[in-house]
């Protein structure tokens, strides 16, 4: 089990021990029994089995990162200053270096619309809002109904710029948002089928004249690494994708469609 996986597991177990365990145990056991007995016979069940095996450390084909590496200075003005709101994050957030780079990229490209897959506590959302132009709008999507989702921007003046949505990114349809987004940040479920789906959604969301996609947890989660590598090799619009040194960010300046 790698460090990232271990950190994520510890974060989850912290949430569990701080709440009542029995109802969670009953729900988890019921779900586990359903997945074990009926899982192989449905697509959703097979996805859950694959996700569970991956989560438990079954990764015989752990991919070696394929993307070329780039220094932060190649994708943003790395020497300049940024101010970070809610400066101290937790282990589920992006790191300080990653957040600084995300903010610098956003400040440089001045997106009018941003879409984020995976809100979590909203720390990244808040900081993207802080560095985007004042009239920029940010949509952030998370499947969790937990109250911690979006708590960093709840009540903050930037809330007016942020549209929080609840939903499974696997079921996401670009709809009215299609071809309207300048910057997409993908950091939701890290299993390959989800990353693939989120990447397809990102391509549908980006404006026809192009934009920027950033994936988190590249070279950390096998599902992210394998999917991003495959897209960079076969999807012409994503062939400029690079892995930013010292981070788990993969960044692509997507060319016009």
Ligand X SMILES: C[S@@+](CC[C@H](N)C(=O)[O-])C[C@H]1O[C@@H](n2cnc3c(N)ncnc32)[C@H](O)[C@@H]1O
Contact residues for ligand X, defined by CB under 6 A:
92-94, 118-121, 123-124, 141-144, 149, 168-170, 187-189, 194
Q: Decide whether 146 or 209 has the Cβ nearer to ligand X.
A: 146
Q: Please answer whether residues 156 and 180 qualify as being in contact, where contact means their C-beta atoms are separated by less than 8 angstroms.
A: no
**Calpha distance 231→136 (Å, rounded):** 28
DSSP classification of residue 246: T
The residue among 187 and 229 lying less far from ligand X, judged by its C-beta, is 187
**Cα–Cα distances in angstroms (integers) from residue 21 to residues 11, 14, 16, in the given order:** 15, 11, 6
E strands present in 84-167 = 113-117, 137-142, 162-166
Q: Which residues contact 147 (CB under 8 A, 6 or more apart)?
A: none
Residue 236 Cβ vs ligand X, minimum distance, rounded to whole Å = 27
Work out how close the CB of 51 gets to ligand X at its nearest, in angstroms, rounded to a whole number.
10
- Quote the CA–CA distance of 216 and 199 in Å, as a whole number: 12
Residue 143 CB, shortest distance to ligand X, in Å, is 4
In this complex, which beta carbon is closest to ligand X, that of residue 92 or of residue 159?
Answer: 92
User: What is the H or E stretch that residue 254 is in?
Assistant: strand 249-254
When the beta carbons of 44 and 239 are compared against ligand X, the nearer one is: 44
Residue carrying the six token digits 């990353």:
195
> Closest distance between ligand X and the C-beta of residue 145, in Å?
9
Report the residue number, 215 or 243, with the smaller CB distance to ligand X: 215
Question: Distance from CA of residue 89 to its chain's centroid?
Answer: 16
Q: CB 122 → ligand X: shortest distance, Å?
A: 7
């Amino acid at each position: 089990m790698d460090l990232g996986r271990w950190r994520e597991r510890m974060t989850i177990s912290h949430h569990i021990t701080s709440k009542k365990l029995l109802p969670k145990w009953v729900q988890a056991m019921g779900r586990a029994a359903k997945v074990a007995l009926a899982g192989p016979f449905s697509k959703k069940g097979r996805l859950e089995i694959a996700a569970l095996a991956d989560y438990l450390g079954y990764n015989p084909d752990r991919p070696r990162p394929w993307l070329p590496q780039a220094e932060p200075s190649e994708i943003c003005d790395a020497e300049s200053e940024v101010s970070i709101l809610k400066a101290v994050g937790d282990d589920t957030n992006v790191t300080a270096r990653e957040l600084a780079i995300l903010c610098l990229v956003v400040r440089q490209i001045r997106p009018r619309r941003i879409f984020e897959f995976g809100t979590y506590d909203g720390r990244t959302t808040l900081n993207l809002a802080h560095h985007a132009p004042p009239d920029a709008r940010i949509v952030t999507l998370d499947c969790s109904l937990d109250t911690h989702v979006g708590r960093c921007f709840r009540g903050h003046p930037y809330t007016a710029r942020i549209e929080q949505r609840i939903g499974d990114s696997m079921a996401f349809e670009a709809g009215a948002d299609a071809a309207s987004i300048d910057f997409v940040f993908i950091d939701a479920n890290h299993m390959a089928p989800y990353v693939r789906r989120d990447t397809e959604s990102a391509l549908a969301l980006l404006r026809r004249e192009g934009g920027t996609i950033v994936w988190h947890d590249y070279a950390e989660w096998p599902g992210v690494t394998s999917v991003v590598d495959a897209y960079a090799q076969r999807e012409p619009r994503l062939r400029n994708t690079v892995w930013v040194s010292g981070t788990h960010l993969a960044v692509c300046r997507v060319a016009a469609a």
